[in-house]
Chain A
Amino acid sequence: MVELSELQKRYGEDLSESTFRDNRRLVVPAAKIFDVLAGLKQDFGFDQVIDITAIDYLEYPDAEHRFGVVYLLLSVSTGERLIVKTFVDLPNPQLPSVYSLWKGVDWMEREVYDMFGIVFTGHPDLRRILMPDEFTSFPLRKDYPLQGRGERHNFPVITRAES
């Protein structure tokens, strides 16, 4: 079991921890996220990323930052889980990619980029994954309406004669 005090000794005092039900969460400043994740992988046995996701806190009460990015880590041998969370803000939401640590995060980071516009620097192939390449917005942001902004009507249409 990874102790918070040990992590604070290595990465600084601004790491914090909270627990809800059986979920243990570690909040890490965005500048240190890569170092902390690399350390958790190499020295604390968190060898698998279950998922990466993001939350847009635009309408959330008392939120200080715009986006939260969540890494769900798992240690396969011990079964221990840890949620690592960090925050990024507009106008330039950016995080280092952890593709060099875990190959499985490839599409997870692409999905977060596609849906929220958070750029993972160092990702080898950061393209849109679910939405078409011509799409200009980030649909899971809270300022994007449920019914869209009419992008679909402006997609190029290929007729059978042109194809």
Chain B
Amino acid sequence: MPLSLVDTQPHANSESKEYAWTLNFGPQHPATHTTLRIVLQLDGETVIDATPHIGYLHSGFEKLGEHLDFNQYVTIVDRMNYVSPVANEIAWHHAVEKLLGIELTPRAKYLRTILAELMRIQDHLLNIGAVGLDLGAFTAFLYLFQQREVIYDIVEYASGQRFHCSYTRVGGVLFDVNNDWVEKVRKFVREFPKVHAEVHKLLTRNRIFIDRTKGIGILTYDDCVNMSVTGPLARASGVVRDLRKDEPYLAYGDLDFKVVCSRGGDCYARYLVRMEEMLESLKIIEQALENIPAGPVNIDVVSDMVLPAKPAVYRSIEGLIQHFEVIMPNRGYPVPHEEVYAATEGPAGELGFYIVGNGSTRAYRVKTRPPSFVHFSLFPHMIRGHQLSDVVAVLGTLNVIAAELDR
């Protein structure tokens, strides 16, 4: 049977197709990488239907967000997309600062831009590595994971935490960075293209990799628009949209980079878009790093909504008072009775937060707009009519992180 776009095939239900097999994929399966479950209907090796079941990692993050204040919730946000934690923190505080009306200092904007792009590289590294691993290319996975370790080092040097760093704060970041950190990032920018070229050699023209990804899991332009697809997935299907260009936030307006797009719409196109995006991110990091402005990183001197720097807390009474005012639950600062939606271009797609403020320093309602949640709902649409072995290729390039899916 020739492959066609999936919905043109007769929709199969299990009553009329008694010969269909049911295969339970997950919740614990090495190729799902995280805890998610798919019930597949098979005709021989052809998938005729798939039903995703999610919720295994649901732990009520949005309910917790109503009980923690804007700075505390950053530790929860970290744990949503744990492959690129700082990107979530930046998205969260971007929304909070929009609600409060805080304008960051130039240094904080540049610093967050660098971190956001490091996180994009980190996310794409894992994604490409994992797709390669699932399709039998083990070496590329090891090369890419080595580079993730370098980024962990960079983030650890800045924040003191390797994985769940909780680095951003309302109005800035936890600590400023120093010259050693800048040297570390420079070293990464210098050395990463070599690894990138090696992975290109290992995968891009690899016959097995192409055979298993080209023409698999096609999303057309209309599908992407109608089904709410954003980020690299949409760009691989020809949707020219990138929030960094379309709605510039942080320092992206000052920097020179390209939006990587493709018309393929299949797993191979998504792989290529991610590979090229890493080089563009590297360009952004280099420009931002060499032009990072001097000056304070936090706006604590002018605002009473922001935690003061630690030396000020320990050495001056004004700093201590400000710290107390922000931290204590019975003090606080005025928050507008308003609702706001703010989005950033996360590594996997549009990552936004809808916050309702009710005057207190805790949000009345926090809604995450997780890209994984929307993308995973397309899985049945993308897999129908393909082979069982294509499930891992499609699932891999969708970049589904179950912790973000379930929250």
Interface residues of A (CB under 8 A from B): 20-21, 23, 25, 47-51, 53, 55-56, 59-61, 70, 72, 76, 79, 83, 102-108, 111, 115, 128-132, 139-140, 146
Contacts and interface: CB of A to CB of B under 8 A. Distances in A.
Contacts of B338: 20
Contacts of B373: 107, 111
Contact of B225 (A20, A76, A132): A76
B339 A132 contact: no
Contact residues of A: prevailing secondary structure: mixed
Nearest to A127: B53
Contact of B226 (A47, A61, A131): A47
A60 B354 CA distance: 16
Given A72-B354, A107-B377, A49 B98 contact: no
A139 B340 contact: no
Contacts of A107: 373-374, 376-377
Contact of A55 (B58, B239, B337, B364): B364
B195 interface: no
B365 A129 contact: no
A25 B354 CA distance: 13
Interface string B221-243: 00101111110000000010100
Contact of B341 (A83, A108, A140): A83
Interface stretch (B32-40, B60-68, B260-268): B60-68
B246 A72 contact: no
A150 B54 CA distance: 22
Given A55-B364, A103-B226, A61 B55 contact: no
B247 A79 contact: yes
Interface string B165-200: 000000000000000000000000000000000000
25 contacts: A20-B339, A21-B98, A21-B99, A25-B339, A49-B228, A50-B350, A50-B369, A51-B228, A51-B352, A51-B367, A53-B354, A55-B364, A60-B364, A61-B358, A72-B352, A72-B354, A76-B239, A76-B241, A103-B381, A104-B228, A104-B374, A104-B378, A107-B376, A130-B407, A140-B62
A128 B58 CA distance: 12
Nearest to B377: A107
A55 B343 contact: no
B341 A23 contact: yes
A23 to B, nearest CB: 6
Interface in B322-353: 336-341, 343, 350, 352
A128 B60 CA distance: 15
Interface in B101-117: 101
Contacts, number: 100
Interface residues of B, number: 47
Interface string B359-390: 10000110101000110111001000000000
Given A70-B354, A76-B239, A104 B63 contact: no
A61 B358 CA distance: 8
B246 A130 contact: no
B341 A129 contact: no
A66 to B, nearest CB: 13
Nearest to A79: B246
B406 interface: yes
A48 B226 contact: yes
Nearest to B230: A50
Contacts of A70: 339, 354
Interface in B57-82: 58, 60, 62-64, 67
A144 B406 CA distance: 19
Contacts of B225: 47-48, 76
B106 to A, nearest CB: 20
B37 to A, nearest CB: 13
A24 to B, nearest CB: 10
Contacts of B60: 139
B356 interface: yes
B337 A105 contact: no
What are the 10 A-B residue pairs with the smallest beta carbon separation, nearest first?
A: A104-B228, A104-B227, A107-B377, A53-B367, A130-B55, A130-B58, A51-B369, A79-B246, A55-B365, A20-B338
Contacts of A146: 63-64, 67
A105 B228 contact: yes
A151 to B, nearest CB: 12
A56 B366 CA distance: 11
Given A72-B341, A106-B377, A140-B62, A129 B354 contact: no
